[in-house]
Amino acid sequence: MTQPISTEARLRDELAKRLEILEPGLTARCIEYRLPNRQGASGSIDILATDRYSATVIIELKKSNQTARQALHELHKYVALIKYEHGLRDSQIRCMLVSTEWHELLVPFSEFSRTAPWAVDGYQLYRTEADLPDRAEKIVPVAAAIELHLCPEHKVYLFRDHARREVAVPVLLKLLQDHNLPEYIVLKLDTKHRRFEGACDFALYLIIPEFDPDERKRAREWLAKTRWANELDEPIRYLEEQFVIAEVTDSFFEQCDEREIGYPEKLANECRNWDVVALIRGGPRLESKAVFSDEYLLRWAKGLEGGNAFHFEMIATPQRRLAWKEAKDNAEYCLKGNAAWRTLVLAYFDDIELY
């Protein structure tokens, strides 16, 4: 009678004998392949293999959620060590993460597989009653997180009376919620100095996130049943966001005295003469003040983090490559049409990168 495999090591040894359950053409070259590390702890690859195209395949096996937590760290380490030891290029390396448990692994593995420069595959390993490797199913990574971008098409609702504005706030928020627009930023604005009798010295300033592709599709389906049906083919950016807000807040116009369009440059300029007395936020991505402070959201809405054609501010360093590239791109956008300043500022970026 076959003895059940009771340890991860024994499961590894049996898997090495039948790598075809992962992928045809895989050939095991070594079990527990040792990798020295002159700068720290050495490592051992569970199974070192080659595929039918002669690529080096690092196979890491995990049997529990507890050990699965270590898997991605170990893959990073083994790839680094094998590159140091044997001079392999990224194109010559593949990684396979094989686990019987994916509860802890799926989300971080999905991000890892998208960002790693080498090919990465994951497999759910199923075992027989005798605890032998039986079959494997390739893991489908979860979709990438959708980045949050604020739509630059804003709406401004103006009021002559402070009390009227305060009564209108819950009405606006309920309209947004009822029409499946749970994410928003609403600014309460008061003029710094009261103006002539009858002037609209109080405002609500509405900003929503840019729609993702699925939201855009659903918006078009909904708008096709409204008065905007014949205008959906207009080649206008953020068309769906503008029409949805117009339709949703149609009944809100009776709550305010005047309305205007808004945009980042306008908000940045208006804040010279208006005070932001409150910032109201909604939605799971926006609600955490630990992630987005009120001050940061206001800067973002003004386009000061990028997207403002007249004004750009950002603190960045070449040591943070993604943020540095974003700073250069946004500076270029702000200086579009001003060739002299664009050349000067980009040269300044290049000088900083040298130090």
Q: What is the pLDDT of residues 62-93, one digit of tens each?
A: 887 766 678 899 999 999 999 999 999 999 99
For range 217-229, the mean pLDDT: 94
* pLDDT at residue 314 is higher than 80: no
**Burial class of 42 by CB neighbour count within 10 A (0 to 12, 13 to 18, 19+):** exposed
The reply to whether 192 and 253 lie within a common domain is yes
The reply to whether 172 and 245 lie within a common domain is yes
339: domain range?
321-353
Instruction: Please identify which residue in the block is written with the tokens 């380490």.
Output: 77
Instruction: Please identify which residue in the block is written with the tokens 């009771």.
Output: 6
The reply to whether 15 and 109 lie within a common domain is yes
For range 335-347, the mean pLDDT: 82
Residue 313 lies in a domain: no
For range 305-312, the mean pLDDT: 70
176 vs 309 pLDDT, higher one:
176
- The one-letter amino acid at 213: P
The reply to whether 22 and 133 lie within a common domain is yes
**What are 173-211's pLDDT values in tens digits?**
999 999 999 999 999 999 998 888 889 999 999 999 999
What 112-121 contacts at long range (C-beta under 8 Å, 24+ apart), as own/partner pairs, is 112/72, 112/75, 113/141, 114/141, 114/144, 117/90, 118/79, 118/90, 118/91, 118/93, 118/94, 119/55, 119/93, 119/94, 119/95, 120/75, 120/94, 120/95, 120/96, 121/23, 121/94, 121/95, 121/96, 121/97
Q: Which two tokens stand for residue 161?
A: 């009376």
* pLDDT at residue 214 is higher than 80: yes
- Any idea which of 75-89, 95-109, 334-348 has the lowest mean pLDDT? 334-348
The reply to whether 344 and 206 lie within a common domain is no
Q: Which two tokens stand for residue 263?
A: 């945009």
Residue 145 lies in a domain: no
Kindly report the average pLDDT of the chain as a whole number: 90
Number of independent structural domains in the chain = 3
- Any idea which of 15-19, 243-247, 302-306 has the lowest mean pLDDT? 302-306
pTM: 0.76
Residue 236 lies in a domain: yes
pLDDT of residue 3: 44
The reply to whether 68 and 36 lie within a common domain is yes
**What are 232-246's pLDDT values in tens digits?**
998 899 999 999 999
Residue 148 lies in a domain: no
Residue 107 lies in a domain: yes
Residue 37, SS3 per DSSP: coil
Q: Which two tokens stand for residue 83?
A: 């590159």
The reply to whether 218 and 326 lie within a common domain is no
Beta bridge pairs of residue 62: 99
The reply to whether 222 and 123 lie within a common domain is no
- Any idea which of 38-42, 70-74, 110-114, 188-192 has the lowest mean pLDDT? 38-42
Instruction: Please identify which residue in the block is written with the tokens 């079959």.
Output: 135
The reply to whether 289 and 346 lie within a common domain is no
Q: Which residues contact 305 (CB under 8 A, 6 or more apart)?
A: 299, 313, 314, 330
**CATH number of the domain where residue 112 is located:** 3.40.1350.10
* pLDDT at residue 4 is higher than 60: no
The reply to whether 195 and 289 lie within a common domain is yes
Residue 149 lies in a domain: no
Residue 178 lies in a domain: yes
* pLDDT at residue 351 is higher than 90: no
The reply to whether 278 and 158 lie within a common domain is yes
Q: Which two tokens stand for residue 170?
A: 């819950």
* pLDDT at residue 307 is higher than 70: no
293 CB neighbour count, 10 Å cutoff = 12
**What are 255-304's pLDDT values in tens digits?**
999 999 999 999 999 999 999 999 999 999 999 999 999 999 999 999 88
Alpha helices in 87-226 (DSSP H): 106-115, 162-178, 213-223
Residue 2 lies in a domain: no
Domain boundary residue, one of 105, 138, 171: 138
Domain boundary residue, one of 138, 168, 199: 138
The reply to whether 100 and 192 lie within a common domain is no
